[in-house]
Structure 1
Amino acid sequence: LPRTAEAVVAILAVVKAGATYVPIDPSVPAARRDFVLSDAAPFAAITTTELADRLAGHDLLVVDISDLGGA
């Protein structure tokens, strides 16, 4: 997630839910991102529309933070 107020809210929500937040910088190479996702084995990812396609091929729920604007 980009460094925004929405990202802070998402991180706090993850921690409040008792889950673990694993940050992945969007600028890292695909191999590094894939390694982190394989190693951490998350069941969900919070991202943006622009970055969601980078999670294709991973078995996880993708939550688009822009879809949560009115929630």
Structure 2
Amino acid sequence: MPYAVNADLPDPVRAHLPTHAQDIYRSAFNHAYEDHADDPRREEVAHRIAWAAVKRSYVKSGDHWVPLRD
């Protein structure tokens, strides 16, 4: 199911990602969820795509996600 606001995201996403990364995750998830309407693994695929989107802008450093540096 699409997420209207960051507060609706799964607990692990909210607990570990900074707000901007949550925005990226939510947007990517919602787009992927819509794009894969006919896929029986729709939600799983959308979560994978959302994490991939976050990893293009953030990297895990220890226990924290930090923005990638150019």
Tell me, yes or no, whether TM beats 0.5: no
User: Greater RCO between the two (CA within 8 Å, min separation 6)?
Assistant: 2
Normalised by the length of structure 1, the TM-score is 0.29
Q: TM-score, normalised by structure 2?
A: 0.29
Higher helix share: 2
